[in-house]
């Protein structure tokens, strides 16, 4: 199916929040993008039913994160804590969007986390996710619920880990596909906001001729932008090499068109597990 | 008296100049040898407590004389130290002082400002360096990895055991799973008993492991923080060490500066984390989108503030020791103040908010203060004394000293004080302080007493002319011709009420010169002449004499009864002086006396109604002494007399009317009338001698004005003590009247002389038999007193008979 050549239009942003530092980093990034793109921002907090169901067992024990002491998990207390957490998240969300002067709404849901996020994502152009959100413990990898969301999400997603921020330099992966065009134009829009914004276009090509062709193509698409553009080429094995390039050259944001036909889901998840840099995953597709 | 005796004119021809333009200005102090000597002594002696108090009436030029001396001395003295306050890194509530040679303070401040800027640059460079970032990241990641690895391992083992960690808001729960999904309690209950028990055991195993890991987390975090701090300190030390070393070399001669620089280095290294915010350059994208540049600058400024220098005394542009006159010597203006700024609703302060006072600015020099101003400002006097006594400047706010406020404040290290203070004020203040304040005598040992008058001789008149010439030059007035100068000198003598003296009160003379200059200019003259001086004097009098005119008018309209013709028994014209602001004038008062038989008392009606002052009462009591000793030495004084100032509605003080009262009393006793065309002034003693009084010129002029208004008859005049003749500097119109024979001034030595003039009778002297000749005034008095004594004796006998 042919599609018009244009950057991803970001008008509605969903940010999934669980009060973790990961999700708050995602919120800050979402706010900066929403401000830039004049987009509406929706915050979503999900009360995890799995956790709630645990209290139905009288023998269920909770271990304090700070005290490391064991205590019985009380249903009422847990509900109160979850409500408090939801309020805290809502307040934080509201404070930040007020400060940025943005439009936004906040939604609380109860259910299975990934299902609720995916349900809300239907109306969003991009979903911001904290890398380790909803994870039981900090492992530096994608949280299980985030992983589930990403495996089923057909739209674009920003993935940020705690403490990371949107900043230059930026790397955008380009293979000449329509999705890659979207990624390139979106990256250009983000970088352009900073004077003298610098981006590196990583061209995926089989040979040097194709690489040159793709460079020219990419150059034409962003020639009217106020950007300093640097080109790199990559052939052969893709994602592992990409991780080492990002770490070596210190990119702070990666815009990756997630071509399902090219990148296998397992490889993509592995890439996202390993990488510490914020990633904007440009995806396109219909929900099943 | 002859007209020529009524004033001592200054002869313009005696001067050897035409105008003041021909005269050299005079720089030395004139007419104040005692004060000048005291000043020299006070400036020369360097011992503690030898501060100077210049005392004398206002307008003497005490301040300008003192300033001139202080400046002369200061010119020969070196420029004193600069003083700075710096942060005390051990206790920021107690800022430290650093004293540096003149000019070095400004350099030091500049260097520290530069250093602080360099700190930011150097530390930013250090913390933004790849080396730092890599090492920091490595440390952080190493710690994170350790924790992540532990949890990953735990998660892996848990999943192997068929359980999973689930996050709750406050902790973690270990829950059994089946096919990657957490089992609900119902699902668990459906499992076989054995399987349930097995899962429960595994849950407990994982819980135990989890607890073990969680207990290690705080230790790992502490370890991480320590490592990061060590890294930060290492980087900071390298970044700022070189900068500080350079300054330590530059200021090697000043140990306190070097100590401070070392303290700064330690603090920067210890608090290197504080500089990390600047390194934390939140994404350019975020900054561009959200702004906040101003806030960052503010934060950066507050972070480096403690390393700056508060240079409170800067002598980089000075060329000598300072001389300062503090016009508003409040507590704060003397010792400085500690300002506060509102921060988050609370008042905060620091060493940068210390502001210097006059004592700081003048330290090493000379401070001039008006004693009255110091004493009328709350606690200023105590503050000044405390500083002089301790030899240090302690900055302390009045509010905290009085306990009025409990906000956070500072206790700055005191600064050593080395000054000479010159206070100036009137004599009353000096003597009150001397008597009532024991510390005053310890701190102001040098008394520079300014004389109000100087001798009027030929030499001093020439000097006075040069003083006038100096004033003319200082105030850029037109030149004064010698006639004008002579008239100023005459007026100067009149101001002190003494023909043989000149006033040293500069202000009155300066005012007169300026005003005469104004009138000369009005007349389009190029030189000020004696007419202008006279016009200025007349104008001064006119502006001030409303009350005098009202009083004269009341006399002329017979509201106040004063006769200037005829004779009356027991009635005389006394003379009083009234001072209003700077204008003094005389006016006649009718004094009357009545006598009757009595026990020898003379009743002073003024005293009886508390309108008479003690000196006046004393004068009246002297009259009793005189009467008794002269006329009733061997018989009882058997009269009762009353004396009163008629139509006097306010207090009477002084004894200058006692001779007039005596004449009225004697007239009443002798029943001999007194001439009303004469007025009398002078005090009298028990021997009948007439003594000098004050305000003789004003008194004569006061009676003259009334006589002139009522019409001069040729026989009117005033009786004055002979000892007051040297004080006569009468107005020209009075002198002209005397010259024309229309008015007279009689100098007296004794009461008898006065009696003869007032009655036209011979007073009489006791003969060999101790009797006054018949037909003399004294005989009449004595005879009447004897009559009264006989009457009293007879009255006593009749009384006894009646009682018997």
Give the tokens for residue B322.
């300072």
Q: Interior CA angle at A256 toward A254 and A257, to 5°?
A: 160
- Asked if A194 is an interface residue toward chain B (Cβ–Cβ < 8 A), one would say yes
Please report the pLDDT score of residue A287 as a whole number. 38
Beta strands in B620-765 (DSSP E): 639-645, 673-675, 678-680, 683-684, 690-691, 716-721, 743-748
Contact partners, residue B398, CB within 8 Å, separation at least 6: B331, B332, B378, B379, B404
Query: Using CA of residue B560, residue B564, residue B568, residue B573, what is the dihedral sign?
Result: positive
- The secondary element (H helix, E strand) that includes residue B423 is strand B420-425
- Asked if B207 is an interface residue toward chain A (Cβ–Cβ < 8 A), one would say yes
- Asked if B263 is an interface residue toward chain A (Cβ–Cβ < 8 A), one would say no
Please report the pLDDT score of residue A2 as a whole number. 42
Chain A residue at shortest CA distance from B148? A139
Rounded-to-integer distance, Cα B378 and Cα B328, Å: 12
Active site residue B699: yes
- The secondary element (H helix, E strand) that includes residue B709 is helix B696-710
Rounded-to-integer distance, Cα B258 and Cα B308, Å: 14
A32/B285 touch (CB, cutoff 8 Å), yes or no: yes
- Asked if A60 is an interface residue toward chain B (Cβ–Cβ < 8 A), one would say yes
Contact partners, residue B202, CB within 8 Å, separation at least 6: B161, B162, B163, B176
Rounded-to-integer distance, Cα B284 and Cα A166, Å: 8
Find residue B574's DSSP bridge partners.
B589, B680
Nearest by CB to residue B207, choosing from A56, A63, A136, is A63
Where chain B has pLDDT below 50, the residues are 278-292
Q: Is B77 helix (H, G, I), strand (E, B) or coil?
A: coil
Question: Is A150 within 8 Å of A279 (Cβ atoms)?
Answer: no
Find residue B425's DSSP bridge partners.
B55
A54/B154 touch (CB, cutoff 8 Å), yes or no: no
Chain A residue at shortest CA distance from B170? A64
A60/B214 touch (CB, cutoff 8 Å), yes or no: no
Nearest by CB to residue A68, choosing from B175, B214, B286, is B214
- In 3D space, the residue among B681, B765, B670 whose CA is nearest the CA of residue B720 turns out to be B681
User: Exposed (0-12), middle (13-18) or buried (19+): which is B769, by Cβ within 10 Å?
Assistant: exposed
- Asked if B580 is an interface residue toward chain A (Cβ–Cβ < 8 A), one would say no
Contacts of B140 in chain A (CB under 8 A): none
Task: Write the pLDDT tens digit of every residue in A135-162.
Answer: 888 888 898 899 999 988 888 999 999 8
Q: Quick count: other Cβ atoms within 10 Å of Cβ B781? A: 25
A51/B168 touch (CB, cutoff 8 Å), yes or no: yes
Task: Write the pLDDT tens digit of every residue in B428-448.
Answer: 999 999 999 999 999 999 999
Nearest by CB to residue A73, choosing from B147, B168, B188, is B168
The residue from B656, B658, B659, B683 that is catalytic is: B656
Cβ-Cβ pairs closer than 8 A, A with B, add up to: 132
A36/B289 touch (CB, cutoff 8 Å), yes or no: yes
In this structure, the strands spanning B678-680 and A104-111 are unpaired
Contacts of A194 in chain B (CB under 8 A): 284-285, 288
- In 3D space, the residue among B15, B790, B4, B60 whose CA is nearest the CA of residue B463 turns out to be B15
How far is residue A166 from each of residues A269, B281, B528, B736, measured CA to CA in Å?
21, 12, 88, 107
Chain A residue at shortest CA distance from B281? A167
Chain B residue at shortest CA distance from A137? B151
Find residue A228's DSSP bridge partners.
A198
Question: Is B98 within 8 Å of B256 (Cβ atoms)?
Answer: yes
- In 3D space, the residue among B570, B787, B783 whose CA is nearest the CA of residue B668 turns out to be B570
- The secondary element (H helix, E strand) that includes residue A159 is strand A156-160
Question: Is B509 within 8 Å of B468 (Cβ atoms)?
Answer: yes
- In 3D space, the residue among A287, A283, A288 whose CA is nearest the CA of residue A127 turns out to be A283
Question: Is B298 within 8 Å of B341 (Cβ atoms)?
Answer: no
Rounded-to-integer distance, Cα B672 and Cα B692, Å: 26
Q: How far is B314 from chain A (nearest CA, A)?
A: 45
Residue appearing with tokens 């299975």: A112
Rounded-to-integer distance, Cα B209 and Cα B213, Å: 6
Chain B residue at shortest CA distance from A20? B169
Please report how the helices B482-496 and B506-522 are oriented relative to each other, as an axis angle in degrees rounded to 10.
140
State the complex-level ipTM. Answer: 0.84
Question: Is A178 within 8 Å of A259 (Cβ atoms)?
Answer: no
Please report the pLDDT score of residue B620 as a whole number. 80
Give the tokens for residue B758.
């007032």
B-proximal residues of A, 105-164, CB under 8 Å: 134-141
Please report the pLDDT score of residue B295 as a whole number. 55
Nearest by CB to residue A193, choosing from B155, B184, B289, is B289
Among A137, A142, A187, the strongest candidate for a mutation testing the B interface, having the largest count of B CBs within 10 A, is: A137
User: Exposed (0-12), middle (13-18) or buried (19+): which is B434, by Cβ within 10 Å?
Assistant: middle
Rounded-to-integer distance, Cα B275 and Cα B300, Å: 8
B169/A85 touch (CB, cutoff 8 Å), yes or no: yes
Rounded-to-integer distance, Cα B401 and Cα B399, Å: 5
- What is the value of pTM for the model shown? 0.67
Contacts of B286 in chain A (CB under 8 A): 28, 32, 165-167
Question: Is B667 within 8 Å of B759 (Cβ atoms)?
Answer: yes
Find residue B346's DSSP bridge partners.
B343
- In 3D space, the residue among B16, B47, B26, B103 whose CA is nearest the CA of residue B444 turns out to be B47
In this structure, the strands spanning B163-167 and B171-178 are antiparallel
Q: How far is A1 from chain B (nearest CA, A)?
A: 35
Residue appearing with tokens 């305000």: B695
Nearest by CB to residue A68, choosing from B165, B188, B215, is B215
A70/B188 touch (CB, cutoff 8 Å), yes or no: no
Biggest CA-to-CA distance, chain A: 68
Nearest by CB to residue B285, choosing from A51, A134, A194, is A194
Taking phi first (over 0 means left), then psi (-120 to 50 degrees means alpha), and beta for anything else, what does residue B764 get?
left
- Give B481's DSSP letter: B
Give the tokens for residue B800.
């006894």
- In 3D space, the residue among B333, B227, B263, B278 whose CA is nearest the CA of residue B98 turns out to be B263
Please report the pLDDT score of residue A4 as a whole number. 46
Task: Write the pLDDT tens digit of every residue in A164-188.
Answer: 888 878 899 888 888 888 889 888 8
Contact partners, residue B349, CB within 8 Å, separation at least 6: B338, B339, B340, B341, B408, B409, B410
């Amino acid at each position: 199916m042919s599609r018009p050549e244009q950057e991803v239009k970001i008008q509605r942003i969903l940010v999934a929040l669980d009060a973790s530092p990961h999700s708050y980093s995602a919120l800050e990034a979402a706010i900066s993008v929403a401000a830039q793109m004049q987009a509406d921002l929706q915050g979503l907090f999900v009360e995890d039913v799995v956790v709630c169901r645990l209290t139905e067992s009288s023998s269920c024990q909770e271990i304090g994160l700070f005290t490391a002491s064991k205590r019985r998990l009380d249903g009422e207390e847990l509900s109160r804590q979850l409500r408090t957490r939801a309020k805290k998240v809502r307040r934080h969300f509201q404070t930040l969007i007020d400060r940025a002067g943005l439009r936004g709404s906040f939604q609380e849901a109860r259910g299975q986390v990934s299902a609720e996020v995916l349900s809300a994502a239907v109306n969003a152009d991009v979903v911001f996710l904290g890398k380790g959100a909803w994870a039981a413990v900090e492992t530096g990898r994608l949280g299980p619920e985030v992983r589930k969301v990403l495996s089923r999400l057909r739209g674009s997603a920003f993935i940020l880990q705690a403490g990371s921020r949107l900043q230059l330099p930026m790397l955008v992966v380009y293979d000449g596909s329509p999705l890659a065009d979207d990624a390139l134009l979106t990256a250009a829009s983000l970088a352009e906001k900073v004077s003298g914004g610098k981006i590196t276009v990583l061209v995926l090509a089989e040979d040097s001729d194709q690489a040159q062709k793709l460079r020219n193509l990419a150059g034409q698409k962003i020639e009217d932008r106020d950007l300093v553009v640097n080109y790199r080429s990559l052939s052969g094995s893709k994602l592992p090499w990409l991780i080492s390039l990002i770490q070596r050259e210190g990119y702070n944001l990666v815009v990756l068109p997630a071509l399902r036909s090219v990148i296998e889901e397992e490889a993509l998840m592995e890439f996202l597990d390993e990488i510490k840099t914020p990633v904007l995953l440009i995806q396109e597709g219909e929900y099943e | 008296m002859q007209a020529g005796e009524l004033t001592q004119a200054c002869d313009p021809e005696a001067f050897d100049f035409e105008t003041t333009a021909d005269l050299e200005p005079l720089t030395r102090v004139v007419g104040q040898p005692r004060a000048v000597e005291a000043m020299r002594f006070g400036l020369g002696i360097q011992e503690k407590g030898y501060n100077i108090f210049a005392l004398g009436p206002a307008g003497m030029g005490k301040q300008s004389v003192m300033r001139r001396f202080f400046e002369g001395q200061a010119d020969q003295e070196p420029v004193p130290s600069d003083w700075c306050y710096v942060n005390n890194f051990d206790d920021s509530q107690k800022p430290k002082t650093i004293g540096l040679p003149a000019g070095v303070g400004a350099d030091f401040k500049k260097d520290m400002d530069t250093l602080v800027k360099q700190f930011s640059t150097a530390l930013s460079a250090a913390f933004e360096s790849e080396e730092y970032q890599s090492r920091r990241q490595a440390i952080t990641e190493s710690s994170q990895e350790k924790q992540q690895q532990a949890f990953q391992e735990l998660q892996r083992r848990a999943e192997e055991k068929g359980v999973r960690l689930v996050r709750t808001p406050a902790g973690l729960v270990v829950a059994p799973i089946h096919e990657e999904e957490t089992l609900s309690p119902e699902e668990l209950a459906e499992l076989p008993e054995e399987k349930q028990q097995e899962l429960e055991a595994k849950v407990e195993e994982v819980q135990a492991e989890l607890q073990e890991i969680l207990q290690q987390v705080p230790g790992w975090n502490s370890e991480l923080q320590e490592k990061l701090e060590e890294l930060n300190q290492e980087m900071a030390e390298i970044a700022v060490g070189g900068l500080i070393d350079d300054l330590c070399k530059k200021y090697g001669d000043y140990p306190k500066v070097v100590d401070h620089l070392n303290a700064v280095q330690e603090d920067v290294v210890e608090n290197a984390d504080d500089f990390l915010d600047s390194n934390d350059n939140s994404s350019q994208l975020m900054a561009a989108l959200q702004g906040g540049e101003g806030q960052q600058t503010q934060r950066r400024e507050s972070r480096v503030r403690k390393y700056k220098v508060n240079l409170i005394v800067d002598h980089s542009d000075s060329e000598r020791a300072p001389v300062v006159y503090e016009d508003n010597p409040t507590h704060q203006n003397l010792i400085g103040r500690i300002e506060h700024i509102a921060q988050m609703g609370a008042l905060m302060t620091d060493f940068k908010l210390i502001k210097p006072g006059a004592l700081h600015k003048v330290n090493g020099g000379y401070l001039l203060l008006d004693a009255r101003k110091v004493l009328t400002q709350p606690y200023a006097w105590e503050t000044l004394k405390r500083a002089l006594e301790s030899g240090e400047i302690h900055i302390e706010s009045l509010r905290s000293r009085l306990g009025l406020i409990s906000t956070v404040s500072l206790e700055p290290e005191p600064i050593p004080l080395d000054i000479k203070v010159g206070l100036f004020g009137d004599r009353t203040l000096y003597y009150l302080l001397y008597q009532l304040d024991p510390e005053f005598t310890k701190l102001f040992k040098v008394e520079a007493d300014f004389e109000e008058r100087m001798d009027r001789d030929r030499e001093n008149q020439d000097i006075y002319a040069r003083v006038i010439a100096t004033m003319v030059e200082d105030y850029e007035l037109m030149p004064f011709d010698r006639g004008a100068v002579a008239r100023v000198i005459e007026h100067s003598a009149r101001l002190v009420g003494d023909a043989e003296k000149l006033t040293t009160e500069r202000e009155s003379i300066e005012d007169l010169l300026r005003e005469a200059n104004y009138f000369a200019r009005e007349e389009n003259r190029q030189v000020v002449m004696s007419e202008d001086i006279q016009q200025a004097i007349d104008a001064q009098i006119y502006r001030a004499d409303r009350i005098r005119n009202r009083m004269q008018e009341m006399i002329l309209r017979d509201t106040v009864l004063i006769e200037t013709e005829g004779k009356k028994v027991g009635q005389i014209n006394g003379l009083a002086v009234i001072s209003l602001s700077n204008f003094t004038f005389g006016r006649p008062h009718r004094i009357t006396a009545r006598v009757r038989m009595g026990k020898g008392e003379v009743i002073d009606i003024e005293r009886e109604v508390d309108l008479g002052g003690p000196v006046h009462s004393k004068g009246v009591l002297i009259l009793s002494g005189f009467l008794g000793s002269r006329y009733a030495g061997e018989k009882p004084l058997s009269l009762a007399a009353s004396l009163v100032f008629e139509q006097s509605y306010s207090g009477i003080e002084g004894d200058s009317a006692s001779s007039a009262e005596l004449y009225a009393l004697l007239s009443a006793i002798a029943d001999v009338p007194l001439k009303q065309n004469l007025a009398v002034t002078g005090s009298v003693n028990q021997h009948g001698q007439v003594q000098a009084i004050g305000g003789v010129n004003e008194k004569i002029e006061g009676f003259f004005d009334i006589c002139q208004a009522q019409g001069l008859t040729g026989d009117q005049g005033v009786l004055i003590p002979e000892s007051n003749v040297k004080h006569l500097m009468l107005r020209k119109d009075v002198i002209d009247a005397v010259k024309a024979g229309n008015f007279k001034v009689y100098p007296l030595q004794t009461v008898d002389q006065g009696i003869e003039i007032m009655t036209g009778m011979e007073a009489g002297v006791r003969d060999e038999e101790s009797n006054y000749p018949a037909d003399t005034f004294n005989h009449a008095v004595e005879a009447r007193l004897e009559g009264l004594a006989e009457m009293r004796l007879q009255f006593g006998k009749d009384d006894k008979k009646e009682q018997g």
